[in-house]
Amino acid sequence: MHVHILGICGTFMGGVAALARAAGHRVTGSDRGVYPPMSTQLQSLGIDIVEGYEAAQLDPAPDCVVVGNVMTRGMPVVEAMLDAGLPYFSGPDWLARHVLSDRWVMAVAGTHGKTTVSSILAWILEDAGLDPGFLIGGVPANFGTSARLGGGRFFVVEADEYDTAFFDKRSKFVHYRPRTLILNNLEFDHADIFPDLESIKVQFHHLMRTVPGSGRVILNAADENLGDVLQRGCWTPTETFSESGGQGDWQIPSSGAGTDFDILQADVQRGSVTWSLPGRHNQLNALASLLAARHAGVPLQSGIEALGRFKGVRRRMELRGKQAGVTVFDDFAHHPTEILATIEGASSVTRTGRLIAVFEPRSNTMRMGVHTGALQTAFSGADRVYLFRPPDLAWDLQAVAGNMDPAAAVTDDIDDLLARLVSELRCGDHVVIMSNGGFGGIHERLLDALQARDES
């Protein structure tokens, strides 16, 4: 079958393309701004990509078209697809029909932590010899790829609440029909799609309705919004987790954000974890993953041992390098809660100098100014904060920066930002750069500039 994918260079649609190719289909696609690394990754799989959304790419006609959620009515290729009556599907629908239909689906949902939890869970299953398939919105270092068909029974999918396509405004995750569902947390996000938190809760309730009674829902007992979703109806056994002192069936100690932690069940220690990821948020991510793996038959202790071999996820407190005694990390955080958790985790990493936070408010929700109030306290654990102002920001970043603790420096020029950092940074400092985009390649540019400074 010839599958043509519109919007193929996005992380999700690129993953769908890789899965379709692994399943033996001929795959082509198109996108705007086709550039490495996604373009080269897809081409290495034998997937031809064209630039743009002109109608000619559908001649000769493919057997079906998979439509990414970046596509809209009025685009020439969309109008040509509809006029020709070609079979078309959204990415999540195609995935559900052609990959997930005969698998034990393990879905990871929530506002934060989906990529990390999905990566951990896939690795625990892999370490147990279960050969899982997966589709994740990032690249787990243990695998080096964001998607794999796998040969086993289980398939791990990062279950995003973003809308599906221009013709299907349900959240992506309602298509997946998981047997094991992790609900990590729930906050307001994606303000470009959802008008309020209530509308997101409705979609999570729809997701709950798809989990069979023989399945398992694993959720954060401390999250009141998830509790509200649960009260709207749950037909599946639940297993809960939290910090100690909470209501979770399983718990982690409420103190300590380092890399070693205990796991408790009914106040009884069931295991101790030593691994490489810092922060209490990652401890909870690990616990949720262990519980899901237990539902798939992996003993708790086996899962704990696998955590010790977990190598992390690219762009989640990823170490990018060290120059002149300065350590540079890259993180995908783009919501105040994520920023706060990232800073807390970074604070627990041993260092002799300061913790410097650099942030680009790039996400649609952040650019709209929805989270400016929470942003003022999100960096409280840092010693110094730099904020980059993108050109399309809809709010006064300088005014927010002045009310931060610590007060933040603001610039709208990456060269100026680099110059300030190079001037200030000294041996022993840790720099955490946070953005959900490429940020102008600032990570490598900073490391190169520090090396040049050290050699001059």
Distance, in Å, from the CA atom of 7 to the CA atom of 1, rounded to the nearest integer, reads: 19
What element of type H or E holds 442?
helix 442-455
pLDDT for 258-314, tens place per residue?
Answer: 788 999 998 899 999 999 888 888 999 999 999 999 999 999 999 999 999 999 888
Residue 455 has which token pair? 């050699």
Of 23-27, 61-65, 139-143, which range is least confident? 139-143
In the predicted structure, residue 349 carries a pLDDT above the cut 80? no
Domains of the chain: 2-92 (3.40.50.720), 102-307 (3.40.1190.10), 318-455 (3.90.190.20)
**Which amino acid does the sequence have at 447?**
L
Mean model confidence pLDDT for the chain: 90
Distance, in Å, from the CA atom of 299 to the CA atom of 294, rounded to the nearest integer, reads: 6
Residue 250: predicted pLDDT: 95
Distance, in Å, from the CA atom of 396 to the CA atom of 191, rounded to the nearest integer, reads: 18
H helices of 368-413, in order, are 372-378, 397-402
How much of the chain, in percent, has pLDDT values that exceed 70? 98
Mean pLDDT for the stretch of residues 224-247: 92
Beta partners for 356?
384, 431
How much of the chain, in percent, has pLDDT values that exceed 90? 61
In the predicted structure, residue 149 carries a pLDDT above the cut 90? yes
Residue 59: predicted pLDDT: 95
Residue 257: predicted pLDDT: 64
The pLDDT confidence band at residue 135, using thresholds 50, 70 and 90, is very high
Q: At a CB cut-off of 8 Å and minimum separation 6, what does 277 contact? A: 116, 259, 285, 286, 310, 312, 317, 345
pLDDT for 360-417, tens place per residue?
Answer: 888 777 777 677 777 778 888 888 899 998 888 877 878 888 888 777 888 888 999 9
Residue 35: predicted pLDDT: 65
| Residues 339 and 404: beta-carbon distance below 8 Å | no
pLDDT for 5-54, tens place per residue?
Answer: 999 988 899 999 999 999 999 999 999 977 666 777 788 889 999 999 99
**Residue recorded with tokens 């209490």:** 280
Helix (H, G, I), strand (E, B) or coil at 191: coil
Distance, in Å, from the CA atom of 3 to the CA atom of 82, rounded to the nearest integer, reads: 16
Residue 264: predicted pLDDT: 93
Q: At a CB cut-off of 8 Å and minimum separation 6, what does 12 contact? A: 68, 91, 135, 137, 160, 172
Residue 393: predicted pLDDT: 80
H helices of 379-436, in order, are 397-402, 414-424
Residue 343: predicted pLDDT: 85
In the predicted structure, residue 130 carries a pLDDT above the cut 70? yes
Q: Which residue has the higher pLDDT, 63 or 340?
A: 63
Residue 316: predicted pLDDT: 81
The pLDDT confidence band at residue 429, using thresholds 50, 70 and 90, is very high
**Which amino acid does the sequence have at 443?**
H
In the predicted structure, residue 237 carries a pLDDT above the cut 90? yes
Residue 53: predicted pLDDT: 96
Residue 437: predicted pLDDT: 79
Residue 36: predicted pLDDT: 63
